[in-house]
């Protein structure tokens, strides 16, 4: 278990392309806010002004050539700024942070997906996070083909979505493997066609976690 550095609760949402995490985490944010909780919703890449520009380069500017190391460093630059400017201050205030994607995405996409040296990935990541880890990671699992179809990747996908199906299979396998290795941090939610049922499962996972961990920070 990672050392607890702050008194807030840090919850991340992960999954392969088209898993629907952003829709559910936003809805959860709305519900938690109206229940009077101190909660922030944010996302990577792009959770800061710098991050929005980095996101544009990483995902939208398909004409810019980007090597693997440059790609890794851009995701981590986004993260370093995001942790310093948004996530850590909110956690230090004792708030709940809901974040679409965090470092588990880097391990899955750049580490396993691209096959980069995992020691290097972890070292750079640690510099960016300062050791901050998610308390709870909700892994929204979906079949690769279904997810890519939902994300519109076959027609107008961004740089990541346009990668080969085999890349996305590695990403999904990596997520499931990491979840298996760290059952205390991950909750796996199998995404179904029934959006209400999926939301209910996400809601229960997060509310249940908060209920069990209130005041322990």
Closest to ligand TMP by CB, 30 or 56: 56
Contacts with 190 (C-beta within 8 Å, 6 or more apart), sequence order: 141, 142
Instruction: Tell me the CA end-to-end span of the chain in Å, nearest whole number.
Output: 14
What angle, rounded to 10 degrees, do the helices at 68-82 and 118-129 form? 20
Q: Provide the token pair at 144.
A: 């690769």
Closest to ligand TMP by CB, 57 or 59: 59
Cβ at position 131, least distance to ligand TMP in Å: 17
Closest to ligand TMP by CB, 156 or 216: 156
The binding site for ligand TMP (CB under 6 A) comprises 17, 43-45, 59, 75, 100-101, 105-106, 109-110, 160
Q: Provide the token pair at 31.
A: 């519900």
Give the SS3 label for residue 143.
Answer: coil
Closest to ligand TMP by CB, 17 or 135: 17
d(CA 157, CA 100): 19
Cβ at position 151, least distance to ligand TMP in Å: 7
């Amino acid at each position: 278990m990672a050392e607890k550095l702050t008194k807030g609760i840090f919850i991340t949402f992960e999954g392969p392309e088209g898993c629907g995490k952003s829709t559910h985490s936003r809805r959860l944010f709305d519900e938690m806010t109206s229940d009077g909780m101190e909660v922030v919703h944010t996302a990577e890449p792009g959770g800061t002004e710098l991050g929005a520009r980095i996101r544009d380069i990483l995902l939208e500017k398909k004409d810019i050539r980007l090597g693997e190391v440059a790609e890794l460093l851009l995701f981590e630059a986004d993260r370093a700024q995001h942790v310093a400017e948004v996530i850590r201050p909110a956690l230090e205030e004792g708030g709940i942070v809901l974040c679409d994607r965090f470092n588990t995405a880097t391990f899955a996409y750049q580490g396993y997906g691209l096959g980069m040296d995992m020691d290097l990935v972890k070292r750079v990541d640690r510099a960016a996070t300062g050791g901050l880890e998610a308390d709870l990671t909700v892994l929204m699992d979906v079949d690769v083909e279904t997810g890519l179809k939902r994300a519109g990747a076959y027609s107008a996908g961004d740089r990541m979505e346009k990668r080969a199906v085999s890349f996305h299979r590695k990403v999904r396998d990596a997520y499931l493997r990491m979840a298996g290795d760290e059952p205390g941090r991950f909750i796996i939610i199998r995404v179904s066609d029934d959006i209400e049922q999926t939301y209910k499962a996400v809601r229960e996972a997060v509310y249940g976690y908060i209920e069990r961990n209130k005041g322990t920070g």
